[in-house]
Structure 1
Amino acid sequence: MISGLIHVARSSDAVAIESLADTLSALVAGVAAGLVGDAVIVTGAPSKALDTVAEGSGATLVVYPPKGDPWSAGARAARRDWLLCLEPGDIPAEGWIRTLDRFVGTARPDVGLGRMRRAHAGLPARIAARSERVIGAAGPRPGDVVRRERLLAGLPFSPRLAVRMLAARLDRI
């Protein structure tokens, strides 16, 4: 099973809160299939709206310290061995459950991380993600599936983790 980590950069933005709700509702299919065990909402600033969304969805809300790493803070609160890193508005496309289940079920202990395609990401982010397939990833990006223990060890990943592209993609609403 996996935990969904959703990093909310702008906790006071009403559109981000709405997008967060959409992302959480998309994870419900993974819960029903037995793949997603819990969700963690990670933010840099507390917000009443985020408290409400977290309470209503059963997710854990984590506020990380200034200059802290949101993914590592979320990993400390997650309850599963694998983490799916997301942003508000990320909606996994059809077939994601089967793809992620196969990945986490067959990954060897030395496997770095799995990466879902994000066609909606900007050109600089896509170029950086593509270069990480060659040189390895120093840290997770939204759409990555990574072992919890890797994030608990701290960032940047040492040594850089090999990136395995997954046959699943994230859409943006």
Structure 2
Amino acid sequence: MITVLIRASRGPEALAVTLSALVPAVAAGLVGDAVVLAANQDDTIAKVVDAAGATLIDGSWAQGARTARRDWLLCLEDGDIPQEGWIQALERFAAFGKPEQRGRFKRRRRPVEAALQFVLGLFGRDATRAGELVHKRVLLGEVKARPTISLAAFIERDPFFV
């Protein structure tokens, strides 16, 4: 089982879209809990989080990792929607991956975004990003992450929340 960390910055509607996309993984027994990271918490965000049975905190990926109940963490941003085959891809990675490994969903990006990600990679940017499955020990700084492994599934941002 995994914990999903969702960075919420686009509002309650975007958060609801992402949380609802996780329902099949909850039913399959893959997702055990969710932690929503929201700097701008309001009553509506709190109601969405409560209705989903998630935990609401103000913090970073690392602070979310401290709150998470599982060792493997799927990092998402509100508005993210995993695409077909994502549950199986995460199950395989969580079953066979080592704590220092990270798995990353593929994203369909515009050429400018893809070029920017490539350039940041050249300069050693190694921070955890939305769309990655990472072990709690990496986010807590207990182990150094190895290069990411591309997962056999895509994640897309709902176009309404880009």
TM-score range, shorter chain: 0.7 to 0.9
The 5-angstrom pairing of residues 98-109 of structure 1 reads 98-109=88-99
Q: Compared with structure 1, are the counterparts of its residues 121 and 35 closer, same or farther at alpha carbon in structure 2 (3 Å cutoff)?
A: farther
Q: Compared with structure 1, are the counterparts of its residues 120 and 53 closer, same or farther at alpha carbon in structure 2 (3 Å cutoff)?
A: farther
Are 1:37 and 2:60 matched, yes or no? no
Q: Percent identity?
A: 43
Match of 2:12 among 14, 17, 22: 17
User: What secondary structure sits across from 1:84 in the alignment?
Assistant: strand
Give the TM-score taking structure 2 as reference length: 0.86
Does the aligned pair in 2 maintain the 1:133–1:164 contact within 8 Å? no
Match of 1:143 among 125, 131, 134: 131
The 5-angstrom pairing of residues 149-160 of structure 1 reads 149-153=137-141, 159=144
d(CA) in 1 for partners of 2:122, 2:149: 10
d(CA) in 2 for partners of 1:109, 1:159: 9
d(CA) in 2 for partners of 1:31, 1:165: 23
d(CA) in 2 for partners of 1:133, 1:78: 28
Q: Which residue of 2 aligns with 1:59?
A: 54
d(CA) in 1 for partners of 2:131, 2:94: 14
Q: 1:132: Cα distance to partner?
A: 6.7
Instruction: Give the partner amino acid of 1:61.
Output: L
Q: Compared with structure 1, are the counterparts of its residues 121 and 36 closer, same or farther at alpha carbon in structure 2 (3 Å cutoff)?
A: farther
Q: 1:149: Cα distance to partner?
A: 1.2
CA deviation vs aligned residue, 1:117-153 (integer Å, no higher than 9, x gap): 12146733x3354457677652111101100111112
d(CA) in 2 for partners of 1:109, 1:84: 13
d(CA) in 1 for partners of 2:13, 2:111: 22
Q: 1:160: Cα distance to partner?
A: 5.5
Instruction: Give the partner amino acid of 1:114.
Output: G
Q: Which residue of 2 aligns with 1:67?
A: none
Q: 1:98: Cα distance to partner?
A: 0.3
Does the aligned pair in 2 maintain the 1:5–1:85 contact within 8 Å? yes
User: What secondary structure sits across from 1:80 in the alignment?
Assistant: coil
Q: 1:172: Cα distance to partner?
A: 1.9
d(CA) in 2 for partners of 1:137, 1:29: 33
